A and B are shown apart, each in its own frame.
Chain A
Amino acid sequence: MGSHFEAEVTVMPKPEVADPQGQAIEQALARLALSGTEGVRASHVRVGKVVHLELEAADRASAERALEALADRVLANPNIESFSCSIRDPK
């Protein structure tokens, strides 16, 4: 009987890869001048994605290994993206 893990993979464009979505958002934020943001400037905006998943695995180590493999081979494209994985122990 395995355990149930909640996991999250965060995928981001690599620093050396231009992120036009981030740039567009950065420009919009600068233009908006929302009340309560006076004197504050947002910069280095980057857009990525978060994939939430649940895993059934014999133990934490195998869940971590599997998550890393899924992130590296499917959820992120290592040519242009980096990723980080986090996993929560069974409740």
Chain B
Amino acid sequence: MKTGVIIFPGSNCDQDCLDVSERVMGWEAIPCWHRDALPPGLDLVILPGGFSHGDYLRAGAIAARAPVMADVARFAQAGGPVLGICNGFQILCEAGLLPGALRINRDLIFHCEDVWLRVERRDTRFTSACPERIQMPIAHREGNYYADRETLARLEGQGLVLFRYEENPNGSVNDIAGIMSEAGNVCGMMPHPERASEDVLGCTDGRSVFESLALATGVGN
């Protein structure tokens, strides 16, 4: 399994994602600079968390228009799996690869805490190895998911909501913490599975997301 982790100026979870991919999962992990082309032969692209371009204009807005994102869009168009975590989720929405937008939290406060998530679908390539409930940290100020009424009805109707907060920390509509695209190969989530993938980090629930991806890709290690 060969995964690319995109690095934007201001990304700060890129090393965590590379580390989980390489050391915990045993994959080949390639850092990809935002101005460069996506390397060929990837089985997975991860957009990591952070504050790309200082969150100027809107969180993820400038990164979504980076040169590498045209390649990421083509990769997704061809069915390649893309996982956006936190800022990565914001970037995917800004790039139009996922519907909706992440607004400033309801209470205007940066939330850094562990949350419990309900895994709404356990038959997707992002969640097939997940248990019904998982715990993960969140760390964001713009995690308040919004989609207009029609989009929300479509997300719910088609079962595209993958993760829901048990206790809503940020005001997200329908307690949404993570969604996937209609084609099922692009997933965005505000909680950080890469920060909950080892015993030493206090929680290993997040690893189930990466294990799901490994199962789905069928490449093994």
Contacts and interface: CB of A to CB of B under 8 A. Distances in A.
A16 B146 CA distance: 11
Given A20-B106, A20-B107, A24-B108, A77 B148 contact: no
A35 B131 CA distance: 59
Interface of B is mostly: loop
B94 interface: yes
A21 B109 CA distance: 11
A74 B61 contact: yes
B108 A20 contact: yes
A79 B104 contact: no
A67 to B, nearest CB: 16
B154 to A, nearest CB: 14
Interface in B131-154: 144, 146-148
Given A17-B146, A20-B171, A75 B57 contact: yes
A18 interface: yes
Nearest to A79: B101
B45 interface: no
B1 interface: no
Interface string A69-82: 00000110101100
B58 interface: yes
B65 A80 contact: no
A80 B171 contact: no
B31 to A, nearest CB: 27
A20 B57 CA distance: 17
Contact of A18 (B58, B61, B93, B171): B171
A16 B108 contact: no
A80 B101 contact: yes
A74 B100 CA distance: 15
Given A79-B93, A79-B146, A17 B103 contact: yes
A40 B64 CA distance: 43
B100 A79 contact: yes
A48 to B, nearest CB: 12
A10 to B, nearest CB: 14
B103 A80 contact: yes
B108 A74 contact: no
B105 A20 contact: yes
B2 to A, nearest CB: 32
Contacts of A80: 101, 103, 146
14 contacts: A17-B146, A18-B103, A18-B106, A20-B106, A20-B108, A20-B171, A24-B108, A74-B57, A74-B61, A77-B94, A79-B101, A79-B146, A79-B148, A80-B101
Given A24-B108, A80-B103, 15 more contacts: A16-B148, A17-B146, A18-B106, A20-B103, A20-B104, A20-B106, A21-B104, A21-B108, A74-B61, A74-B65, A77-B58, A79-B100, A79-B148, A80-B101, A80-B146
